[in-house]
Amino acid sequence: MSLESRVSSWLDSQAIDQETKESIKTLQSKNQEELTESFYKDLEFGTGGLRGIMGVGSNRMNKYTIGMATQGLANYLNRSFPNEEIKVAIAHDSRNNSRFFAETTAAVFSANGIKVYLFESLRPTPELSYSIRKLKCKSGVVITASHNPKEYNGYKAYWDDGGQLVPPHDKNVIDEVNKISSFDDVKFNGNYSLIEIIGEEIDKQYIDVLKGLSLSPETIAKESDTKIVFSSIHGTGIKLVPRVLEAFGFKNVTVVSEQAEPDGNFPTVVYPNPEEAEAMSLALKKAAEIDADLVMATDPDADRVGIAAKNKNGVFQLLNGNQTGTLLIYYLLKKWQENKKLDGKQFVVKTIVTTDLIKRIADHFKVTSYDTLTGFKYIAELIKELEGKSKFIAGGEESYGYLVGDSVRDKDAVASCAMIAEMAAWAKSEGLSVFDLMENIYRQFGFFLESLKSITRKGKAGAEEIQEMMVKFRKEPPSSLGGSKVVKLIDYQSSTEKDLATGKEKPIDYPKSNVLQFFTEDESKISIRPSGTEPKIKFYFSVNTKLDDSESVDEVKAKLDSKINTIISDLGL
């Protein structure tokens, strides 16, 4: 459909309100470039749902694009569960329009005869995942754009296991959404007798479940005064993280007051993303003021957490997502072992772009380690597949998302904050700082250093440029990187692994995904992946070496940093 046809379909539709039509006419007369960006395509309902800039138009997050998505999901639910009561749960974050979008979603579901549990106010994404299983829902939706800038919002769809949609449901829902050709097909007028407001009762149950994850209550009792600084970065974390920390027994938690109020404009940060040092700056300042032991901050929907602690020089230093995941899984496996809970029937999971240091640790504890594609839905799918056969301990991804236990089926920063705090308290009881523990792990298992380089290319032209980059790397793979020969190429789009020395290929058992990985003789790993939720292409670098007792962490890190910089240069970035 042409741009003009899309614009006309909105202006001519009886279902579109007059205010929206006036906004479109204003764009026609005053901002043709924005009109093009708003209508040049339909906002794609992908395998995770919707995410985009808020505004009028087919390529924007608004009442109508959300209505079509919900109608498609409702159609699929009604087709999948005939003659059954269908229930869904809906939550939302602190972003602008999130409550309105959540209520719109609830209205459409209820208009299709579906029972809706709608949270009374903002709630963390992991609580939505928990509530789906607790309330025996067939599906669920959370309105969030995670850590994207304030202009964005999103719509994440879940299935009855509490995980995001995976095959075949993801493609089937997409097909149903794509069948909707007119806003007249969307039932916007809700049946409010089918909408039930939920809140505190689910909060209490969820907190009790998370409290049951604790492995060292006696250590927390001993170290209950551990100084913790927490920031919710204007998001949903404020609802539950302080309460869960208190439930675990931590008595000295300082909340960053400037960022405690939920606010979709995120006034104190450029990006509400704990991966960004700038977003953590107020928390680090507070930590320095009170001489804290641990700093934690969650993103707007509280599924990701960033942490910081004092390094050997007494300066607060951020840890990256790989380091936090390593510390967390090391602690969990060590305590499971000490508590004599390991019997060979447990497993951990990480994504293909997450540090392989986690696999080395799992191997040491004789715990099975699995790799999945990027996206927590794949971890959730594996948990479901192995249910009753093997016990899930924890999983994580380098982008600051972790899950402990299987009551939730998406990354959970609320649980992670509690368990990270427990890990730090345990280290303190052993006379170690968080960084001392990290160094001990490096010396035992090897020093792994990871880095991420993201290149942003916005709009239609940017999307095309990103695809051209992937085509080039497939056609012309590098022969060496960082001074080491490239020996293996894995292409997850063609589901093949190629030995570059012999040219032999073999199939790999992963879902198809637009990801490339290069492996070198010295065990460096370089992964290239266009983001599925942002206008970015991401380059992941992982290098490693032994860390002898005679070497300092700083010296070896400098060498590995230099190696990553050489690889970046070799790739022409």
Active-site residue among 146, 232, 369, 524? 146
Alpha helices in 430-496 (DSSP H): 434-445, 459-475
Pairing verdict, β 525-530 and 516-520: antiparallel
**């299935």: which residue's tokens?**
159
For 457, phi and psi rounded to 5 degrees? -140, 100
Single-letter code of the amino acid located at 176: E
- Contact call for residues 24 and 59 (beta carbons, < 8 A): no
Report whether 410 contacts 134 (CB < 8 A).
no
Q: Which helix (H) or strand (E) holds 197?
A: strand 195-198
Residue 164's nearest CA partner among 373, 313, 14, 338 is 373
Sign, CA dihedral 76-535-300-241, equals positive
Q: Which of 69, 138, 124 is nearest to 101 (CA)?
A: 69
Longest Cα separation, the chain: 75
Q: Report CA torsion sign: 246, 250, 253, 255.
A: negative
Per the CB < 8 A criterion, the answer to whether 89 and 117 are in contact is yes
Whether 110 sits among the annotated catalytic residues: the reply is no
Whether the CB-CB separation of 216 and 249 falls below 8 Å is answered with: no
- Cα 68 from Cα 87, distance rounded (Å): 19
Residue 295 near residue 283 (C-beta atoms within 8 A): yes
Residues designated as active site: 146
